[in-house]
Structure 1
Amino acid sequence: MFQIDRSSNRLSKLERTTFAEVGFREREHLQEWLAAMPDALCEAMSEGQDSLLIIQKEFDGFDGTRERLDLLALDRSGQLVVIENKLDDSGRDVVWQALKYAAYCSSLKKAEIVAIFQQYLDRNGGGDAAVRICEFLGEDALDEVVLNDGTNQRIVFIAANFRREVTATVLWLRDHQIDARCIKVVPYKFGEELFIDLQQVIPTPEAADYMIRMAEKDSEEKSAKGAQRWSHQMRLEYWDQALEALRSAGLERWQNISPSRDNWINSSIGVSGCTLTLIFLRHEIRVEFQLNRSNPDENKWLFDRLVEKREKYEEAFGCELEWRRMDDRKVSMIVCKTPVQGYSKENWSDMIAWLIDHYKKMDEVFSEQVRQLASRMKPGGGI
């Protein structure tokens, strides 16, 4: 750091020192400075959290322990902030200590937080804790205030130097959605004057917004991938049971079909591109007669020939069917479906029985008709 000398239009270097050299102590000095002016800490974080409300110093309200956290605060969202101060060196165990404190604090209820703050105020000039919290959060009444919601407690580490094991762990915590930060506090002297500089080093101010967005994106992707892996496993289990039942029912087309993690399996009827397809969805199962030859015109021609006798086929099938020509797509299909709670395994035996029954009907009503139509069809559709 440098001081500007206006008269000489020159810079004068401030001498970096240590807290030990100038006789400052962690609790008597650094802790008191931050408790009296938490805005200095917020300026260093420069993240839109424009203030912290210190609610306790040397908090030791943990059942069964004698441990004390340095400073406990609330941020503007009503979340607890655990602040751990060290002087010239962070030490090796500061992260472990802070994680324990954050875990302890995660269970604090609103009434407990108000009582903790009230104790602090009673020792430091008085005041009404509930009123002060409402004023800080911009709420009219404590009933409308949510404090310490979920597991989003924040951790702030303060030291002049951070050991590599500390910074590596803080970065790992941030990758796992824990808002941990390192604030570097360095003392300087110039003659008889003393200064301190507070700067956030993890995450760097420039990278903070980016890291938050990336963490949110990563969380979203992990959630989606987890759900995808779960659904894939569910489908494999379902199709394994369904295929066993299809084979046991004497349906030879399914002998060489393997379980799939897709939501469909199909079998050919002996005509290229024409299949009987079984669909397994979370809220629906379907049997589809798909006309999906490489030439769209051939699919539409086959569909049009079948739909001409719709009433006859539905009478033979025993219920109405969905006839989907789908002019904007290559495929056309005839569909039979029913609603289910597909991911409830206790329903699977009934669902599989429904699929087998309606698969057989679809096969009996349409397969031979499509084979006959396909034998008359010229390339490109039509006869």
Structure 2
Amino acid sequence: MFLINKNNNRIEKISEKTFTELGFKERENLQEWLADNPTALGEELLIIQKEFSGFSDTNERLDLLALDKQGNLVIIENKLDDSGKNVTWQCLKYASYCSSLKKSQIIKIYQEFLNKSDSALKAEESISDFLDGLEIEEITLNSGLTQRLMLVSGSFRKEVTSTVIWLLNYGIRLQCFQATPYALEEQLFLNVEQIIPMKEAEEFSISMAEKTQEDIASQKEIKNRHIVRKKFWNQVINRMNSKSDLYQNISPSRYNWIGAGSGVRGVGYNFTASKNYGRAELYIDRGDKTENEFVFDSLLSKKETIESKFGEKLEWERLNNKRACRIKYEDTNFNIFEPDTWELTIEKITTGMVNLEKAIKPHLNEINRKVKAL
């Protein structure tokens, strides 16, 4: 860092120092400076306690406790020239302790802080003024998991910065500030710079953290969907096995379908289920569109006989824009993710599958001989 001398159009080097070589202490100096002027941390903060130790079953104490302009608690932990390797864990503990503090407790903590400084201020009035004049009854303090963490140090170890960056991806609101003293002859200067997340990239870091949380939530949702599907298919298979041997060797799946062979390559008796329908179907996909359509058209030519034996109308889908074809029996009053819809649909589609096999099976052997001759 350099000082610009306008008179002689020169710059003078300002020497970077350490707090230790200048004789400064963590509690007596750095902590007091930030408590007196918290805007050094880049925003308006209301310091409500120093050396706070009001935790149950522990004698630990955090350096500074503050409120931000949204009423969130801010835990500020200071180190001098070296962050040490445990500061992240230390700060996380303090945040967990503070997460349960109620509004009335926060007001009491702040009032005790004001009383120590012989201030005539009232905590409720001071908090109200800080939060733009809102009435204390309208103010929400320390809502949910909104606690913020600020780490201040002359330097940060790699194990600290690595952990902080990892925690940011999980929505932990954590900032690192590098505090560097400088000297020019008898003048001393202090530079406090946010290094994690970088101020210029803070919005991007927040959006990436939000995306990470969305991805995690999506993974959890997918896992839950797999669990639900397996449970559903297990019930379908059990019901099916009480009526037919078709699914005797089939296992539950995490996918939205399960299938059993018909004895003809590429033609299967499938169940499919989604949040919109439950279905029993003959699915035709031999890997060749011409062969698929031949099988389908051959069965379609016997539609009246098949539906008569099935006992109801079926839906015949040649799917001209796709390779596969299918013949289906469907229940649309169903959502696989709403178990109270399962019972009726399971009974309906398993009965449908039994009838579908009986109606179609007599025709498949003849069609299989013909399709092999294509």
What's the TM-score bracket when you normalise by the shorter of the two chains? Answer: 0.7 to 0.9
Q: Percent identity?
A: 40
Q: Give the TM-score normalised by structure 1.
A: 0.79
Superposed CA RMSD in Å reads: 3.7
String of CA shifts for 1:13-45, please: whole Å, max 9, x gaps: 112223233333322322222122211111xxx
**1:19 counterpart residue number:** 19
Aligned-residue offset at 1:241: 5.1
**1:239 counterpart residue number:** 233
- Unmatched segments (≥5 aa) in structure 2: none
The structure-2 alpha-carbon separation of the partners of 1:118 and 1:318, relative to structure 1 and needing over 3 Å to count, comes to farther
- Unmatched segments (≥5 aa) in structure 1: 43-49
String of CA shifts for 1:100-150, please: whole Å, max 9, x gaps: 211110101122222222333444434343344344444733444332222
Q: Which amino acid aligns with 1:77?
A: Q
Q: Is the 8 A contact 2:88 2:163 kept in 1?
A: yes
Aligned-residue offset at 1:2: 0.9
The question of 1:37 aligning with 2:30 is answered no
String of CA shifts for 1:326-381, please: whole Å, max 9, x gaps: 6654545433215456457798777644432121123334555677788889999x
Q: Is the 8 A contact 1:285 1:338 kept in 2?
A: yes
Q: 1:184-203 maps to which residues of 2 (within 5 A)?
A: 184-203=178-197
The structure-2 alpha-carbon separation of the partners of 1:234 and 1:22, relative to structure 1 and needing over 3 Å to count, comes to same
Q: Is the 8 A contact 1:16 1:189 kept in 2?
A: yes
Distance of 1:302 and 1:91 partners within structure 2: 73
Q: Is the 8 A contact 2:169 2:213 kept in 1?
A: no
The question of 1:265 aligning with 2:263 is answered no
Task: Report SS of the residue matched to 1:357.
Answer: helix
Distance of 1:18 and 1:352 partners within structure 2: 73
The question of 1:71 aligning with 2:64 is answered yes
Q: Which amino acid aligns with 1:217?
A: K
Q: Is the 8 A contact 1:272 1:293 kept in 2?
A: yes
The question of 1:7 aligning with 2:4 is answered no
**2:104 counterpart residue number:** 111
The question of 1:287 aligning with 2:274 is answered no
Distance of 2:373 and 2:130 partners within structure 1: 77
Greater shift, 349-358 or 113-122, is seen at 349-358
**1:249 counterpart residue number:** 243
The question of 1:156 aligning with 2:146 is answered no
String of CA shifts for 1:194-247, please: whole Å, max 9, x gaps: 100111222333443333232222222222222223332443454345435534
**1:47 counterpart residue number:** none
Q: Give the TM-score normalised by structure 2.
A: 0.81
**1:28 counterpart residue number:** 28
Q: Which amino acid aligns with 2:80?
A: L
Distance of 1:291 and 1:347 partners within structure 2: 28
Distance of 1:59 and 1:368 partners within structure 2: 82
Distance of 1:166 and 1:99 partners within structure 2: 12
Distance of 2:169 and 2:326 partners within structure 1: 47
The structure-2 alpha-carbon separation of the partners of 1:290 and 1:37, relative to structure 1 and needing over 3 Å to count, comes to same
Q: Is the 8 A contact 1:289 1:335 kept in 2?
A: no
Pairing partner for 2:220 from 226, 236, 254 = 226
Distance of 2:239 and 2:343 partners within structure 1: 9
